[in-house]
Each structure stands twice: as structure tokens, then as C-alpha cells.
Amino acid sequence: MMNNDDRVVFFDIDGTLLDTTAFAETARKAAIGLMVDNGLPLDKDEAYGVLKTIIREKGSNYGKHFNVLTQVVLGHEDPMLVALGMITYHNVKIALLRPYAETIDTLIYLKSQGYRLAVISNGITIKQWEKLVRLNVYSFFDAVITSEEVGKKKPDKLIYDVALRKMKGNPEKSVMIGNKFKEDALGAVNAGLSAILVNSDITEEDRDYIKKEKLDITIIGNIGDVKTVL
């Protein structure tokens, strides 16, 4: 009997399983709106600009953007405004959090084909599980491997090696599905897996590079098209 236990499909989350288009911006603007309405002394566009600079400097996984915003604007932290910002941001984000239309069908299809599923993500482990739980897809996944756990981010080969080892996957039979050319596709191929790019903003130059180097990267429009490839 053929042993298929070593076939693993690894997924990225943001922009791949989870439709993140504009939700962070909408949530941040709602948070800023309430902070300004409650005394943050800037107009809303200015305050949003300052917040964006802070996010760029500290990274999107930093947990205290609103604390820094009040420090920068007021010269001291304002706990009430920080709480308003944080809670509004989270509430709006949760309200808008949704999988792509065909995400769940695709996960069911892959399981029916005998693949085991896992996530490889640049981010914080509990936060990534939190997204899978909120999307109600957590039970499809055997593991979530993150840069927090491994100490290296995609596209570093180490995170792919750790993920394969953890899942006992055969790289030649395993696939990475993600939306970023460098992090998800090149990283995976470099670790010996094949890759599928979805929802990607891949450039003509990148496409030429894939052809020239004969890389095992398939480009599809949306996650529902995985069925036509696997």
C-alpha cells in the first residue's frame, strides 16, 4: 500500500487563508477616530499618519502601538486613550475577520485527498492559533510553526526545515501555499518543497525568474483553484 503520510500542505495565514484586505486599516481608523473624539489633540488624518509611522518603525506584531501614539502626541502615556484605541481596534478587526470564500471548501478537499495540514507563519504562535480559532478552521491543522518559535522568519530555510521535521513531511511531496513570492514561494522552494502562490502581487520580473530558474512554483488566482493543482 502506498504511504501518503508524508504529504503535507503548509499554509500561510494572512492574505492566504484569511482575507486581510483593508481590515487592519479600517480597524486602525476606527480606533484613531475614537481616540481623537475623546481628547487626543490631533485631527484624524494626522493621528492616523503618526500611528502608521509607529507601526512601520515597531513592526505590526509589536503590541503597544497605541501606547506609543499617546506618548508621542501628549508626551506621556494616556491609559484611557490607549484602552479605547486597543479595544476599538480589536472589536472592529474581529468583526471583519473572515476567511476567503473558498478557504473552507479547499481545506476539506485537501483532507479528503489525504494531505496533512499545517501553518508556517511569521508571527506570534498564540496570535496565529487565535486567527485559526476565530475563523473556525483550527481543527484542520496539526501544527502551527512560527518565526517566534523558530527564531527565523520566512523565507529563511530554517523555518521550513523545522516545519518539515515537526510534521515528518517529505519535502518532495509537500507544498507551501502562500501569497508572498519571496517569503512563501522562494523560501519553500529553497527548502525543497514546491509552492503555490495565491492572491499574489507577483511582478513580471518574478514570473520571468520562475521560468528562467525552472522553479516549482504554480501561480493561481484564489485559494479555490488549489483543487485544480493538487
Q: Which residues bind Mg ion (CB under 5 A)?
A: 12, 14-15, 179
Nearer to Mg ion, 12 or 78 (CB): 12
CB of 128: closest distance to Mg ion in angstroms? 11
Instruction: Say if residues 70 and 77 touch (Cβ distance below 8 Å).
Output: yes
CB of 179: closest distance to Mg ion in angstroms? 4
Residue 74: CB atoms within 10 Å: 14
Rounded Cα distance between 218 and 131, Å, is 26
CB of 183: closest distance to Mg ion in angstroms? 7
Rounded Cα distance between 110 and 116, Å, is 8
Instruction: Say if residues 132 and 144 touch (Cβ distance below 8 Å).
Output: yes
Q: Which residue is nearest to Mg ion (CB)?
A: 15
CB of 168: closest distance to Mg ion in angstroms? 25
Nearer to Mg ion, 67 or 179 (CB): 179
CB of 121: closest distance to Mg ion in angstroms? 8
Nearer to Mg ion, 146 or 179 (CB): 179
Nearer to Mg ion, 70 or 128 (CB): 128
Rounded Cα distance between 46 and 43, Å, is 5
Nearer to Mg ion, 36 or 223 (CB): 223
CB of 228: closest distance to Mg ion in angstroms? 21
Q: Is the peptide bond before 41 cis (omega within 30 degrees of 0)?
A: no
Instruction: Say if residues 85 and 64 touch (Cβ distance below 8 Å).
Output: no
Rounded Cα distance between 66 and 73, Å, is 11
Nearer to Mg ion, 29 or 154 (CB): 154
Q: What is the DSSP letter of 76?
A: S
Instruction: Say if residues 137 and 100 touch (Cβ distance below 8 Å).
Output: no
